[in-house]
Structure 1
Amino acid sequence: KGSPDIESSTSRVPGYIEQVKAMGVEIVPSIDELLKKVDVVFLETNDGRPHLEQAIPVFQAGKPVFIDKPVAGSLVDAIALYELSEKYNTPMFSSSSLRFAKGAQRLRNGEEGKITKCSTHSPCSLEATHPDLFWYGIHGVETLFTVMGPGCQSVKRTVSNADRDEVAGKWAGGREGHFTGVRKGTPKGYGGTAVGENGEV
């Protein structure tokens, strides 16, 4: 049914219900009822705050779950989700779709050699109910980590104002990553640049 304090969380639900009904999907009144009928759960609530509560019975039932962004409404809840996944030995996955962008995957797969520096940008609207980058910053951050890989050792926010956030990260071996979350101004849309052993893209 969505969250009443997030307009986009409630306004889209009736339309989505009608769309999936038209595809022959059965609508059930609860997660418990859903779990009797499915092998895998896609938790698509766009409010991250109830995700932990919603996911607990899914983990207890041993059903693999994809949790759409934001994975949670706080770091504490995000960590708890992954701990439950491990406790119940039940796969859990969450990401931005930009993890699978062709350009990011090409760089991740080494087509430009080892990446030493990467800068990404994306829209970064804020939502009062969620910590700043949780709400929409994931898209550019996900692209950055797709290209750079794990092992970020330090993070520093260098700019934060009404128009944008800029965050710099350092990886082992002197590798650097930079994310710009844009609310007003440029750059527009989604994108980035990377410097690799074979040049800059």
Structure 2
Amino acid sequence: MKTIGFIDYFLEEWHAEKYPAWIEAASGGTMKVAYAYGKIDSPKGLTNAAWCEKKGIELLPTIDAVVEKSDYLIVLSPDNPEFHAELAELPLQSGKRTYIDKTFAPDRQTALQLFEAAEKHGTPMYSTSALRFATEYMEADRTGIETICSLGPGRLDNYSIHQIEPIISLMGTDVRRVMYTGTAHSPALLLAFGDGRQATVNQFGPEVPFSMVLNYASGQAKVVKPESNFFQLFIANLVKFFETGESNVDPRETVAIITVIEQGIKAMHTPHQWVDMPRA
């Protein structure tokens, strides 16, 4: 059996809670989350020690210990990407297959640095939103998409990735400008691509499920609702990555996604004005 180590900001969070059982099931019992490290205890819940005892996972005192004992590594901290550079430093030097949870990085510079570190040390690494693997998005016709209107819940800083990632996977990375068109309670972005195509990201309350309208140059439109179990599809992809060391998520897309989020947050301060995407 191959062992997996969790490295997290704090361990009592939704992804850390769900991933162990999902990974064990998806791998047919050939992989198991066996070790974990948390930088701090949960501010609102169980200590790391109590969480590990409940889950049957060995708590280790340092990131180095998790890296040393584990076959594969998962850097979590899904809602605190500002800690990913710190938490991923040793994993990315290890050469061991490493997954870094969404949101990959707090900004473009950090995203580039993480990929550079992984390449320097020969460490297979990737990151993604689970929504990328929704069957409905994966099977959508990408040819001739002119406009996307995307809907979903959550905040811009930590949940817009679940709309932006599918948009980039469907339309490519050539986003040139971003405009904030939302309100204080309903974030919204307009993405302008280099060839005139556009996409909108619209965030509402938790009652609004993810969906998209794809409009094609032919004039045809298609409503796409991700009703497949995209988390299980993502976990299957993660298991395959651990087995092969190969990811089917293009790093250029991941960097573009983080850049859109970063520039979108900047654009909040100047609504209805274009903010250019960095090209270097």
Normalised by the size of structure 2, how large is the TM-score?
0.57
Which AA in structure 2 matches 1:162?
Answer: A
Measured after TM superposition, the shift of residue 56 of structure 1 is: 0.8
Question: Would you say 1:39 and 2:71 are equivalent positions?
Answer: yes
Q: CA 1:49–1:113 in structure 2 vs 1: closer, same or farther (change >3 Å)?
A: closer
Q: What are the residue-to-residue correspondences of 1:38-77 with 2, within 5 Å?
A: 38-46=70-78, 47-77=80-110
Partner of 1:143: 166
**1:144 Cα shift?**
1.6
Contact between 1:9 and 1:45, CA under 8 Å: does it hold in 2? Answer: no
| Percent identity over paired residues | 25
Distance 2:208 2:77 in 1: 27
Kindly provide the amino acid, as one letter, of the partner of residue 209 in structure 2.
Answer: G
Partner of 1:128: none
Q: Residue 120 in 1 paired to residue 172 in 2?
A: no
CA spacing shift, 1:10–1:135, aligned 2, 3 Å: same
Residue 200 (structure 1) aligns with: 221
1:89 aligns with 2:122: yes
Equivalent position SS for 1:135:
helix
Equivalent position to 2:187, from 161, 165, 189? 165
Partner Cα separation in structure 2 for residue 175 and residue 19 of structure 1: 50
Partner of 2:189, secondary structure, is strand
Tell me the distance in 2 between the aligned counterparts of 1:119 and 1:33: 45
**Aligned residue in 2 for 1:20:** 55
How much has 1:96 moved relative to structure 2?
1.0
Structure 1 residues 140 and 16 mapped into 2: Cα distance closer, same or farther (>3 Å)? farther
1:139, distance to aligned residue in structure 2 (A): 1.0
Give the aligned partner of residue 236 of structure 2: none
Q: Residue 113 of structure 2 is aligned with which of 62, 80, 94?
A: 80
Give the aligned CA root-mean-square deviation in angstroms. Answer: 2.8
**CA–CA distance in 1 between the matches of 2:42 and 2:76?**
10
Q: Residues 119 and 179 of structure 1 are in contact (CA less than 8 Å); yes or no, is this contact kept in structure 2?
A: yes
- Measured against aligned partners, the alpha-carbon deviations of 1:79-114 in whole angstroms (never above 9, x if no partner) come to 32122122223222111100111111112xx3x642
2:90 is paired with a residue of what secondary structure?
A: helix
2:93–2:118 contact (8 Å) kept in structure 1: no
Distance 1:194 1:9, change over 3 A: farther
Q: 1:147 to 1:91 in 2, by over 3 A?
A: same
Structure 1 gaps of 5+ residues are 126-132
Aligned counterparts of 1:151 and 1:32: Cα–Cα separation in 2? 38
- In 2, Cα distance between the equivalents of 1:154 and 1:114? 20
Instruction: Assess if the C-alpha contact under 8 Å between 1:163 and 1:182 holds in 2.
Output: yes
Aligned length: 183
For 1:119 and 1:45, locate their aligned partners in 2 and report how far apart those are by CA, in whole Å.
Answer: 29
